[in-house]
Structure 1
Amino acid sequence: MFDKARACVAAAVTAMAFATGASAQDYPKTELSVQGGWATAGIYQEIEVPFWTERLPSLTGGNVTASITSLNEKGLKGPEVFRLMRMGVIDFGTSALGYVAGDDPQNEGPDLAGIALDIETARKVSDAYKPALAKLYMEKYGIKLLMLYPTEAQVFWCNGPIESLSDLRGKKVRTGNRTVADFVEGAGGVTVTMPFGEVVTSLQLGVIDCAVTGTFSGNSAGWHEVTTHLYPLTVGWSPFMYAVNAKAWEKLAPSVQALLTEEMGKLEDEVWSAGAARTAEGLSCATGGECIFGKKGAMTLVPLAEADVELRSKLVNDVVLARFAQRCGDACMAEWNETVGALISAD
């Protein structure tokens, strides 16, 4: 899906490197150790692996190289990455913010349910809140935040008719994090927690009525085969972070630090663009539209009802933000209001 775009970007940055006078001797021989994301995710295969194993060596004449493994290969579930980075077992690593929201609710800040309905707003929110998370990660884990990036829009996959947000009342809904659960509970739904891999069977058996996940992730996992209605109200973007152990970072040559800072900034832009593409592709595939890389389905795409606009706003203010404030505390909420809150109020 992203091969052509990736090739163009790689060529462009290589040309830029030579144009600005960068050369191999500017970079000492450096081997980086990287813990990547899920091998089953398109982001890992299409973007992460080529960045570390192709792009960096290309830009440095082979002087900066990296080895990368997926969470699957290491038998990790995701939440351990923060702890292992703090211990210095992992140098560079990535993990979902939602995995450590239980350790510190501040991790929920850039992805509170129902706030960012489109990816442009989600990017603005992420950028506004990034300094707060950078400070948290350095102080609590001893890791340096390098970038924040999304998967795709998190929406509702239901095995039965649904016409509006109010139709979630009484339905059993699998949610992936606390803030989405708050939103669903506010709408009158019954939230259920279960691993991603159990969702298809649970939908088939009627254990749950609906489940929330990304448009592309759900399509890739075959959710369109066990659900009938896709309700596209975005309740999040399931953001991930990339970071590095601070002590490992300090040992790198200044030229390598500068290279990584610049290139990961570009990579961040690329993954956000990929998130928009994945969102559109997943929606189209699941509902019988144009489908190039996904699996074509025949779900009913539910139009967003006008009444949902007002109800969504009420749920965000009265439930999602209120519960986040309780978990996060006064100082945390004040910081959120000064960053994300000020941004969405301006919009």
Structure 2
Amino acid sequence: MFGLGATMGIAQASSITLNFHSGLAQSRPEAEHLDRFAQLVEEKSGGELKIRVSHAGALGLREADILRTLQRGMVDMALLYGEYYTRDAPALASVYAQGAITEAEQHLEILPVIKELYDDGFSKWGIHTVGGVIAPIFDVGLHCKDPVNSLEDLQGKKVRVWSRHLVDTFDQLGVSAQVIPQNDMYMALQTGVVDCAYYLSTVAKTVSLHEVTKYESYLHPWAAAPWIFGISERALGRLNDAQRHALEEAGQEVWETTLELAVSPEREAQAREEREALGITILPAFSEEDVAIFVAAAWNAWESMAKQAGEDGERYYNTVTHALDDILDISKLEISEHSD
């Protein structure tokens, strides 16, 4: 006959702990939601299932290899970001792109489509998705040394961007752009390598853009791809129905919580006030016509990127853009009409 201590030992031994890789620093806001996810899983499973989150790549895994790593069962779970896997799954980078939306609320409407396509893409790697973190929808603007708030003003300027898609977008507009990592952006502006930075305005002060630029103008909202919680099918197969339910329920709760926080006009207004207090002159936003031209260029570059990614890339692009056509109240313009 087992005593109480032995019974507790058996119960403890029957619990499962899943190792969860995250490449994000623990200081990032998303990390708080990861820790909350782990807490919810343990609570909802009555302690039968636990998540051990390793922040900042502490497990020594490379982001570019994560799909293969999960597929082989070398780690149980990971925080997934589609744009990281251009080598193994280039179509995932074609699901969403900058210029896709012109109003923050449109992001909330298109998210179910985005999530469905990510579920499809990750499933091809033996990865099951269980919710995730929806990033806040920040303002994106041009941060420049001189007054710039139109595509005409940008002619002759050199612009820092964060992706090849954006290089191609600005190239269609006759504007020179280059990918410069965030950590090198300050120096590039300070030394004149670039004249402007295309950047998330809401968090511009965290990288001290106010010290190397004087003017800012709003262009569009950030088309923020969500962070997805992925579990390998191998790890999922070790769980019983109750544990699976706890995992799914916890992931969905985090998804819904971050959805509620994603769009905040108050947050954006406060951030603008803070930047003005730092000495930034906030110019009038780019005109509706300029935004329409930028969006048309962004969609053209997005389509080219999707075609290069193959059949899945084209399918993802077509699915999202057809859905956006029903959401966006904006006409796509032919770039050739504005190439003069």
Question: Given the two structures, how large is their TM-score scaled by the length of structure 2?
Answer: 0.79
SS in 1 for 2:162: coil
Contact 1:186 1:315 in 2 (8 A): yes
- After TM superposition, give the deviation of residue 76 of structure 1 in Å: 5.6
Hey, what does 2:204 align to over in structure 1?
A: 218
- Secondary structure of the residue that 1:156 maps to in structure 2? strand
Percent of matched pairs sharing the same residue: 20
Within 2, Cα distance between the matches of 1:301 and 1:49? 37
CA shift at 1:283, angstroms? Answer: 6.1
What is the CA distance between 1:330 and its match in structure 2?
A: 5.0
Number of residue pairs matched by the alignment: 311
Q: CA deviation at 1:247?
A: 0.8
Paired letter, 1:236: A
Q: Secondary structure at the match of 2:286?
A: coil
C-alpha deviation, 1:190, in angstroms: 1.9
Match of 2:321 in 1: 341
For residues 14-53 of structure 1, the aligned pairs below 5 Å read 29-39=15-25, 41-52=27-38
C-alpha contact 1:231 1:301 (8 A) present in aligned 2: yes
How far, CA to CA, are the matches of 2:171 and 2:233 in structure 1? Answer: 39
Q: Which amino acid aligns with 1:146?
A: V
Tell me: CA distance 1:119–1:41, structure 2 relative to 1, closer, same or farther (3 Å): farther
In structure 2, the gaps of 5 or more residues are 1-10, 328-340
In structure 2, relative to structure 1, the CA distance for the partners of 1:162 and 1:75 (3 Å cut) is farther
Q: Please point out which of 86, 91, 101 is paired with 1:106.
A: 91
In the alignment, does 2:233 pair up with 1:252?
A: no
* Counterpart Cα distance in 1 of 2:63 and 2:136: 15
Q: Whole-Å Cα distance in 1 between the matches of residues 244 and 183 of structure 2?
A: 38
Partner Cα distance (1:46, 1:282) in 2: 21
Deviation (angstroms), 1:267: 0.8
Distance 1:151 1:285, change over 3 A: closer
**What's the counterpart of residue 310 of structure 1?**
292
CA distance change for structure 1 residues 74 and 276 in 2, over 3 Å: closer, same or farther?
Answer: farther
Greater share of residues in helix: 1
1:328 matched to 2:312? The reply is: no
From 193, 202, 206, the counterpart of 1:207: 193
- Partner SS for 2:95: helix
1:230 to 205, 211, 216: 216
Shift, 1:138, TM fit: 1.9
Distance in 2 separating the partners of 1:283 and 1:102? 39
**Cα pair 1:157 1:223 within 8 Å, conserved:** no
Residues 221-262 of structure 1: CA deviation (Å, up to 9, x unaligned):
323332222332235324332211111111111111111112
Find out whether 1:147 has 2:134 as its counterpart.
no
Instruction: Say whether the 8 Å CA contact 2:16–2:49 is kept in structure 1.
Output: yes
Q: CA deviation at 1:89?
A: 2.2
CA RMSD of the aligned region, Å?
A: 2.9
TM-score w.r.t. length of structure 1: 0.77
- Bigger Rg, structure 1 or 2: 2
Which stretch has the larger CA shift, 262-271 or 213-222?
213-222
Q: Which of the pair has the greater relative contact order for Cα pairs under 8 Å at 6+ separation?
A: 2
Structure 2 equivalent of residue 300 of structure 1: 281
Shift of 1:38: 1.5
Match of 1:18 in 2: none
Match of 2:123 in 1: 138
Query: Deviations 1:287-312 (Å, cap 9, x if unpaired)?
Result: 5379xxxxx63323332313223313
